[in-house]
Amino acid sequence: MKKQFVVIGLGRFGSSVCSQLHNIGHDVLAIDNDPDHVKEMSEFASHVVLADATDENALKSFGVRNFDHAIIAIGDNIQPSILCTLILKDMGVKKVWVKAQNLQHKKVLKKVGADRIIQPEQEMGIRIANQLDSDKIIDHIGLSKEYSIIELVATKKISNKTIVDLDIRAKYGCTILAIKRGEKVNISPSPNDMVNQEDILVVMGKNNNLKRFEEKGL
């Protein structure tokens, strides 16, 4: 379903979010106060405007209050990011996601009503560290402090075994959400579905249980 997004701040992070949303087929209004950024993104958004994102009247004139979702990706200057968040929430924008520079910035954004706070460098760093921790881990998504979803490469040890044979829910407290085999993805595999070597298992569970499965079960 097509949605309307406003992306404010067209640096590396903001421009990446903007172009991907546009490629998916959503309506995207992109705003930045740098003419070069505006020019570069002219083909990667529905509308691109040169404006100060802390100018409430300018934002109102663009109809920002009518958008489903706002992403504030303003660069290193923390104050405009906070002010823009306040303005958008005051306008009644339902979902405002904001890029935070550091922990202090994150705390302030929480207090002023940001619906989600993104720290891309930190989040990517955690994912890379978890991949480096084991050759079996392809990707890692933290759901909370205790729970994660990971992608693991099936080894010879569990090849030609069914989900029932593996019984990882009972042994390790984890759930196999999907099995990826080449370009095919088996969502919610049945108990009798077979696992082959080099399959990618998408597994959810507590972090300590996932670690046990990765070390002892594979």
- For residue 127, give both structure tokens: 């994912």
Which domains, and CATH codes, for the chain?
4-118 (3.40.50.720), 123-217 (3.30.70.1450)
With bands split at pLDDT 50, 70 and 90, how would you rate the model's confidence at 124?
confident
pLDDT at 217: 74
Report, as an integer, the average pLDDT of 117-128. Answer: 80
Instruction: Report CA torsion sign: 12, 13, 19, 20.
Output: positive
CB atoms within 10 A of CB 165: 13
pLDDT at 143: 84
Q: For the segment 197-213, what is each residue's pLDDT rounded down to a tens digit?
A: 999 999 999 999 998 99
pLDDT at 215: 86
What does R_g of the chain's alpha carbons equal in angstroms? 22
Taking 90 as the threshold, does the pLDDT of residue 121 lie above it? no
pTM, 2 dp: 0.68
pLDDT at 142: 81
What value does the mean pLDDT of the chain take?
Answer: 89
With bands split at pLDDT 50, 70 and 90, how would you rate the model's confidence at 56?
very high
